[in-house]
Amino acid sequence: MPQLFKFGGYCIYFWSNENKPLEPVHVHVAYGRPSRTGTKIWITSESRALLANNNSGIPKPQLNYIIRFIEANSQMILESWAEHFGQISYYC
């Protein structure tokens, strides 16, 4: 699992096994270290962050801050995704 950022105790990362066919670009977020039950956030074609699920139960104030952080760093996330997975598609 490539870790992209450590942010306020939260780990923002890719899950390396992202199914076949590859899911659209997104990140996972979990407190402390990567987890299979991490919160999932899509990155849209307009570099917006869209919450898919909050499986790790991040409190809303922290989640809103993390979403803004992901949007501010979306270009780096997209570049890392393309480098790691070899292609990019978008949820929307």
Cα 61 versus chain centre, distance: 17
- Give the pLDDT of residue 91: 87
The reported pLDDT for the residue numbered 28 is 96
Burial class of 36 by CB neighbour count within 10 A (0 to 12, 13 to 18, 19+): exposed
7 vs 76, more confident: 76
The pLDDT score that the predictor gives to residue 19 is: 67
* Tens-place pLDDT, residues 8-60: 899 999 987 666 778 899 999 999 999 888 999 999 999 999 999 999 999 99
What per-residue confidence (pLDDT) applies to 40? 96
Q: Is the pLDDT of residue 4 over 80?
A: yes
Contacts of 11 (CB under 8 A, 6+ apart): 3, 5, 29, 30, 31, 32, 33, 34, 38
Beta bridge partners of 39: 29
Torsion of CA 69, 71, 77, 78, to 10 degrees: 180
Average pLDDT, the chain: 92
Q: In this structure, are residues 39 and 55 in contact, taking their beta carbons and an 8 Å threshold?
A: yes
Helix (H, G, I), strand (E, B) or coil at 42: strand
- pLDDT digit string, tens, across residues 64-90: 999 999 999 999 999 999 999 988 989
Structure tokens at 71: 């949007």
